[in-house]
């Protein structure tokens, strides 16, 4: 199984404003690269907070991909959002307390942590997994990610409550993930970085 992530962040490491409103940080070139990465995945995982901001399906240009949403109880999620009616994706909700009648267009998995979810997806033949955030989800999955694709955008967002690339409890100095820079590309004021994880879990 190959697990990779792709997120754009401000220079100060934020992936969204403090109010968590939908705010595309990158340029059209960043979006082109994002779609190219989606074309290589079988399934895309994001948290319910990201879904609340975006409300749409995450499509790939040339293939149907599975969108996996992780949430504790899918609160503040409206089943009339475009995400739930898009014919271009397969939808899986990974939750602890499913409300199947409320979301009839979705498949279900009981969420028992990142490793169990990845194993369940692999058993369905979904072997190339893309993580697209947000920060809390990245904290859960960071130790399992093989390749981190990060776009650094020329913005400063600030805000102690603004989500960062990886949130959660945080690693200690002895357990932090060690990465190796594989590629760096500059497009005007944006930087596209690719890192490989070095430390095994």
Per-residue pLDDT tens for 144-201?
999 999 999 999 999 999 999 999 999 998 999 999 999 999 999 999 999 999 965 4
* Cβ atoms of 60 and 41 closer than 8 Å: yes
Cβ atoms of 148 and 195 closer than 8 Å: yes
Instruction: Look up the pTM and report it.
Output: 0.94
Q: Which residues pair with 108 in a beta bridge?
A: 93
Is the four-CA dihedral 159, 165, 167, 170 of positive or negative sign? negative
DSSP annotation of 14 reads B
In which residue are the tokens 């040339």 written? 62
How high is the pLDDT of residue 73? 82
- Kindly indicate whether the domain formed by 2-197 is annotated with CATH number 3.40.50.11810: no
Give the separation between CA 1 and CA 147, rounded to whole angstroms: 12
Cα separation of 72 and 63, whole Å?
29
Mean pLDDT, rounded, of the chain: 94
Q: Tell me the two tokens of residue 126.
A: 């979904």
> Would you list the domain boundaries of the chain?
2-197
Distance in angstroms (rounded) separating the CA atoms of residues 151 and 33: 10
Alpha-carbon span 49 to 46, nearest angstrom: 8
Number of neighbouring beta carbons within 10 Å of residue 16: 25
């Amino acid at each position: 199984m190959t697990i990779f992530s792709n997120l754009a962040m401000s220079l100060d490491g934020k992936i969204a404003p403090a109010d968590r409103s939908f705010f595309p940080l990158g340029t059209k070139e960043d979006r082109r690269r994002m779609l190219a990465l989606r074309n290589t995945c079988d399934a895309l995982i994001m948290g319910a907070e990201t879904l609340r901001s975006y409300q749409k399906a995450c499509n790939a240009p040339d293939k149907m991909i599975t969108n996996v949403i992780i949430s504790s109880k899918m609160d503040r999620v409206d089943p009339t959002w475009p995400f739930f009616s898009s014919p271009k994706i397969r939808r899986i909700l990974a939750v602890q307390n499913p409300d199947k009648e409320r979301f009839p267009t979705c498949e279900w998995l009981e969420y028992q942590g990142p490793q169990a979810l990845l194993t369940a997806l692999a058993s369905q033949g979904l072997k190339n997994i893309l993580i697209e955030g947000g920060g809390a989800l990245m904290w859960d999955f960071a130790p399992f990610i093989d390749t981190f694709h990060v776009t650094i955008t020329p913005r400063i967002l600030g805000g102690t409550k603004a989500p960062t690339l990886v949130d959660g409890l945080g690693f200690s100095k002895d357990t932090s993930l060690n990465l190796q820079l594989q590629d760096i590309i500059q497009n005007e004021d944006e930087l596209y970085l690719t890192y490989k994880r070095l430390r095994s879990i």
